Structure 1
């Protein structure tokens, strides 16, 4: 049976695992106790990777480059460590930009964490007190929609299309005098 895993990495990492029909098999927020040092970051990463089986289809939320605060470096460390763990396993994953996640939920690429609660509930009947787990659930729905015949709205179809066929990146402009 295929399993679809969404991972929203942060100092509190959300993980959601769905079956092919969208039923929730697991939903959890992983957090290390105490200040996040290397050992605690490793604990979050190892506990996250243990949930992911070799045949799982995985979606990870992309980094939010607009984030600020002391946790940002730790969030990046956890995110990169999970990606490296999957790379070492030779397990593929897709990266979903925060704007793509929001568009998949609301139809537009913006909205606060609180503004996603009701649309997630209305669309899938899913509730959880953690915004990390809610985001992980949406990521799992996105990867499921790539692999299963799922009825999608037009904005959701656009998100899936852009994940499967990413727009070509424009070449960097050369600076004058170089």
Structure 2
């Protein structure tokens, strides 16, 4: 079993951890060439080729405040469709849950996640996409291995809150017409 973190973007972050949380693979997947849709197709195919049968996959949810919404939506949905087509299940974590899991605050800037990642896990990488994917892989590990009702030395209170929120998402109320 591996724990996979995917941060969908024009350069998608991919991290695979083993059962002990050791990094097996940490890289940016970019696709072939520079012209879309070929670049997007080859990147999505590459992502799917990295996934194995027993993987626990956590993918970052859509960021709705981005200026590249259409392109990132296409990539994000393309990855989800490729995984689903191949029979893989995945769990989504919102961008704010990723930030909170790493830092304790859901509105942290990308550059302010570097030091907390190193302090928590000793992980460093030059790509913010790979750093986010690393946190997503740690979330996957936590979802599989931790009882969120029990405080452990491995996870902080705010990390347990994120895991509990992913396991038990709030019920959305329907809007009145």
Normalising to structure 1: TM-score of the pair? 0.92
Cα offset for 1:90? 2.1
Report Cα offsets for 1:94-136 as digits up to 9, x if no partner: 0000000000011111111100000001000000000000000
Query: Is 1:121 matched up with 2:124?
Result: no
Q: Show the counterpart of 1:16.
A: 15
Unaligned runs of 5+ in 1: none
Measure the CA separation in 2 of the matches of 1:75 and 1:159: 24
Cα offset for 1:35? 3.2
Partner of 1:14, secondary structure, is: strand
Query: Number of paired residues?
Result: 171
Cα offset for 1:34? 4.3
Q: Show the counterpart of 1:49.
A: 48
Partner of 1:16, secondary structure, is: strand
Q: Show the counterpart of 2:165.
A: 162
Q: Show the counterpart of 2:28.
A: 29
Q: Show the counterpart of 2:71.
A: 74
RMSD over aligned Cα, in angstroms? 1.2
Q: Show the counterpart of 2:39.
A: 40
Q: Show the counterpart of 1:108.
A: 105
| Conservation of the 8 A alpha-carbon contact between 2:60 and 2:95 | yes
One of 124, 127, 130 as aligned partner of 1:130: 127
Query: Is 1:97 matched up with 2:100?
Result: no
Cα offset for 1:33? 4.9
Unaligned runs of 5+ in 2: 147-151
